[in-house]
């Protein structure tokens, strides 16, 4: 795997976009495959990429190194479901070296939890300190319907294993109109009694699916107003580096996050970019403009071409997205599924 770097090699390395935002957070997808088929994320019959198109683990590691050398301080590993990628712990072990050297501040993971019981201890030993678990319901039947094939008990066992390993767990809930909105209050109490923050996310118009995005969309302004009938919500400046805005619940002491790409976008302070498992760099989740990093990565053993491609791409990062879900605009904002971009 790639070499480690010294802090001295980071001089004059910061990536800054045209709007003056330092890009210090990279979400790296390691696979487009997933063992679930969540109804708001993927079509039930998905066609996945041929393995030859995916970056190898060594190439993913080299790509991460290039970003660290250019000022990245946080890397989130995503998918698909990242823990189904064969040999994925090799990448985590290599990234742990950057954590130990102080050239990287944090490595985190977004997962559906299905493989957490297997990997939680090893993740902790690699320096991962917190994980996000996507979980939209605590009802086994409803969970099966949303994921189309998931086992809720396996996810809950994974969460238990993560906490035993010392990982902080945050629960991510996609708010789905007419599907899970009756569960939000009990899910908050369940999460907070286990010392887990919980974040609600508006459904995003990415990729063609069988259902209507308009029918799925539940504005978080409505969700927050309903929660305020049950809880005392105190504004807080708590941040984790992502787009969520948090409130603290007076009755439980726990945190509730709100990610609102539609009712109130989070673009003004965006410090993030996303790299797919094929080496495609997306500067904005809501735009199709992208940069091919796989070609320069494979064209030379050195990183000059790769670094130039990254800098050229960041110079095109837009100010924000224009997501819209309405009866007048029922199609996806972009054609790719969320599983392609990596959350």
- The residue ranking higher by pLDDT, 238 or 200, is 200
Establish whether 27 is an annotated binding residue.
yes
- Range 176-191 burial, b when 16+ CB lie within 10 A, else e: beebbeebbeebbbeb
Where does 32-74 have alpha helices with state H?
57-69
Give the span between the Cα atoms of 341 and 343, in whole angstroms. 6
Give the model's pLDDT for residue 51: 87
Q: Is 273 annotated as a binding residue?
A: yes
> Is 284 labelled as part of a ligand binding site?
yes
- Which one is predicted more confidently, 41 or 289? 289
**Residue 277 labelled as part of a binding site:** no
Residue 242 assigned to a binding site: no
Q: Higher model confidence: residue 225 or residue 47?
A: 225
User: From CA 196, how far away is CA 17, in angstroms rounded?
Assistant: 34
> Is 170 known as a binding-site position?
yes
196 backbone dihedrals φ, ψ, rounded to 5°: -115, 135
Q: Give pTM, 2 decimals.
A: 0.87
Q: Is 64 annotated as a binding residue?
A: no
Task: Identify the H or E element spanning 291.
Answer: strand 290-292
Please tell me whether 80 is known to bind a ligand: yes
| Confidence (pLDDT) at 2 | 56
Instruction: Reply yes or no on domain 7-341 having CATH 2.20.25.90.
Output: no
Report whether 38 belongs to an annotated binding site: yes
């Amino acid at each position: 795997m790639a070499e480690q770097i010294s802090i001295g090699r980071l001089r004059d390395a910061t990536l800054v976009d045209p709007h003056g935002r330092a890009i210090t957070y990279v979400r790296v997808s390691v696979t487009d495959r997933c063992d679930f088929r969540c109804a708001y994320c993927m079509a039930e019959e998905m066609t996945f990429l041929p393995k030859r198109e995916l970056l190898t683990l060594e190439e993913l590691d080299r790509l991460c190194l290039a970003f660290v050398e250019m000022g990245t301080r946080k890397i989130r590993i995503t998918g698909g479901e990242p823990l189904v990628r064969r040999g994925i712990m090799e990448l985590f072990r290599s990234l742990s070296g950057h954590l130990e050297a102080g050239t990287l501040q944090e490595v985190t993971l977004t997962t559906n939890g299905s493989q957490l019981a297997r990997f939680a201890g090893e993740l902790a030993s690699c320096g991962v300190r917190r994980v996000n678990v996507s979980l939209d319901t605590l009802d086994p039947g409803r969970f099966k319907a949303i994921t189309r094939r998931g086992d809720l008990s396996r996810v809950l066992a994974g969460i238990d294993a993560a906490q035993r390993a010392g990982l902080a767990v945050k629960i991510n809930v996609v708010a789905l109109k007419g599907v899970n909105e009756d569960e939000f209050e009990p899910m908050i109490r369940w999460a907070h009694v286990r010392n887990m923050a919980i974040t609600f996310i508006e459904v995003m118009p990415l990729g063609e699916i069988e259902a209507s995005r308009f029918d799925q969309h539940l504005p978080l302004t409505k969700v927050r107003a309903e929660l305020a009938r049950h809880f005392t919500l105190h504004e807080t400046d708590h941040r984790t580096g992502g787009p969520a805005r948090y409130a603290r619940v007076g009755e439980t002491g726990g945190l509730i996050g709100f990610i609102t790409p539609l009712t109130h976008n989070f673009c003004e302070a965006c410090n993030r970019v996303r790299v797919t498992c094929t080496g495609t760099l997306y500067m904005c989740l809501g735009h199709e403009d992208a940069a091919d990093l796989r070609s320069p990565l494979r064209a030379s053993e050195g990183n000059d071409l790769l670094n130039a491609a990254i800098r050229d791409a960041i110079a095109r990062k837009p100010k924000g997205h224009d997501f819209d879900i309405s009866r007048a605009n029922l199609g996806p904002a972009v054609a790719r599924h969320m599983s392609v971009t990596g959350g």
